[in-house]
Amino acid sequence: DQQVKQNSPSLSVQEGRISILNCDYTNSMFDYFLWYKKYPAEGPTFLISISSIKDKNEDGRFTVFLNKSAKHLSLHIVPSQPGDSAVYFCAAYSGGGADGLTFGKGTHLIIQP
Amino acid sequence: NAGVMQNPRHLVRRRGQEARLRCSPVKGHSHVYWYRQLPEEGLKFMVYLQKENIIDESGMPKERFSAEFPKEGPSILRIQQVVRGDSAAYFCASSPDRNSYGYTFGSGTRLTVV
């Protein structure tokens, strides 16, 4: 049972445009959400997070939106740059559950010049 | 200012052998997490350790897998009698405390069982 779902395995966006990566979750106990970025042969790098008490968090070109009623979050990158090409993982944490994060399968973002 | 160091980067083992994966956390971090990524999958939580203690091993397979984080030295993930299905990338992460979820990951150890 996949509790965190990223339904788009890949996404292609033109440089300078907005990239929107989506993530859905099923466990209503999740109360903290994170996005990680991963280049090939490297470990994931933390990008941005959001607590369930908020609906938006912004950090430079990256904004995460959380819609608790829909159990949906999205990562917006604007403007998209070539260095943003990577695999993006959505992850979630439940304060009352296991200590680890639950990850989605990832979305491969490709920024086209 | 070294990050999380994992070694070896690549490890090849024959079926039935033992695999030992090492993780040195960021200096000053006393919380270590191990994750496994199978091909085409996301990362799956395995175990969370603090110095000398296993806090949560709910993601660890019940047999053949063990982890430790001694008072001195790196954290070790040990897989006994490896099978082909153990082939995966194993990532270690560390954090300064339990509530820092945006923790730092190492570059991983890619285990191939032949």
- Can you tell me the mean pLDDT for A45-69? 96
What is d(CA A50, CA B38) in angstroms, rounded to the nearest whole number?
27
CB contact under 8 A, B48 and A101: no
Transcribe A60-108 into DSSP letters. Answer: TTEEEEEETTTTEEEEEESS--GGG-EEEEEEEE-TTS-SS-EE---EE
Determine what percent of chain A is predicted with pLDDT higher than 90.
91
What is d(CA A11, CA A17) in angstroms, rounded to the nearest whole number?
13
Residue B33 contacts A where some CB pair is shorter than 8 Å:
yes
Q: What is the pLDDT of residue B37?
A: 95
Whether the Cβ atoms of residue A58 and residue A75 lie closer than 8 Å to each other: no
- State yes or no: pLDDT of B52 exceeds 60: yes
Q: What confidence tens digit (pLDDT) does each residue in B15-27 have?
A: 999 999 999 999 9
CB contact under 8 A, B59 and A104: no
Min Cα distance A4 → chain B (Å) is 10
* A75 closest CA partner among A105, A102, A43, A48: A48
Mean confidence (pLDDT) of chain A: 94
CB contact under 8 A, B42 and A89: yes
Residue B25 contacts A where some CB pair is shorter than 8 Å:
no
Residues of chain B neighbouring A103 (CB-CB closer than 8 A)? 35, 42-44
Name the burial class of residue B86, with classes exposed (0-12), middle (13-18) and buried (19+) by CB atoms within 10 angstroms of its CB. buried
Q: What is the pLDDT of residue A96?
A: 66
Q: What confidence tens digit (pLDDT) does each residue in A16-30 have?
A: 999 999 999 999 999
What is d(CA B72, CA B70) in angstroms, rounded to the nearest whole number?
5
CB contact under 8 A, B108 and A103: no
Q: What angle do CA A54, B42, B61 make, to 5 degrees?
A: 110
Quick one: how far is CA B41 from the chain centroid? 17
Residues of chain B neighbouring A93 (CB-CB closer than 8 A)? 101
Residues of chain B neighbouring A35 (CB-CB closer than 8 A)? none
Whether the Cβ atoms of residue A80 and residue A15 lie closer than 8 Å to each other: yes
CB contact under 8 A, A103 and B101: no
Residue A62 contacts B where some CB pair is shorter than 8 Å:
no
- State yes or no: pLDDT of B1 exceeds 70: no
